Amino acid sequence: MDSPVALKALVFDAYGTLFDVHSVIAECEALFPGQGGSLSRLWRTKQLEYTWLRSLMGRYADFSAITRAALITACNTLRLQLTGASTGRLMDAYLMLKAFPDVAETLTSFNDCKLAILSNGSPAMLNSVVRHNGLDRLFDAVLSVDALRIFKPHPSVYAYAAERLQTPPGAIGFVSSNFWDVAGATSFGFRAFWINRSGSVPDDLDCQPAAVLPGLTGLPALLKSRSGQPAA
């Protein structure tokens, strides 16, 4: 069997992989005592559902609009009274999500490799959360599906990353905590690594990740131990 092509770029999903979407729980709890965790989980579920539904319907709206719509639906479902002020506070919280503790140290380990974000997030949302966590100087590109007006896991999104990075798909490592995203990237031709922070069971999508890790910390050593390690 031929050895895998050396990776020349690493592309990271943003939400749930680099940035903790549930770091909004504190703000949710402050506004709706006893409902913070439930609201955060349902908000995230509806957010993802709406990206898939809008892609299938061919009715694109940017991630900010989808995030707001998902918040409204989640609050209505939980019978929570959402005001204009509370909507603003929660939407602002999404612009300042906290990076997971292993993010900065891991990213600085890849000195000789292109690094990029590929996300459903709108450019304004991504730029805000990246800057808020002091990560803006670590990436060669922060790529949004907004340029294509369709969401992951559509193949055109992964093709866009390969085109922008001027790197063939087989030489790109893709890193995500979302298995549906890993499946989409694998199906397209990326070498995908699943960051399974929550110990989830993989979906049966006929796609196997190159490796499964409980966090980002082990990724540099894993890649270095393989012939597909990042290369300049």
Query: So which residues are the catalytic ones?
Result: 13
CB 44 within 8 A of CB 51: no
Helix crossing, 123-132 with 63-77: angle to 10°? 80
The 3 state secondary structure assigned to 53-115 is HHHHHCCCCCHHHHHHHHHHHHHHHCCCCCCHHHHHHHHHHHCCCEECCCHHHHHCCCCCCEE
Q: ω before 123 within 30° of 0 (cis)?
A: no
Q: Which of 183, 119, 177, 185 is nearest to 147 (CA)?
A: 119
- Give the whole-angstrom CA distance, residue 180 versus residue 157: 14
Which residues is 98 bridged to in the sheet? Answer: 20
Composition of the chain by helix, strand, coil, percent to 5:
50, 15, 40
- Give the whole-angstrom CA distance, residue 65 versus residue 78: 20
For residue 131, CA distances in Å to 117, 123, 126 come to 13, 12, 8
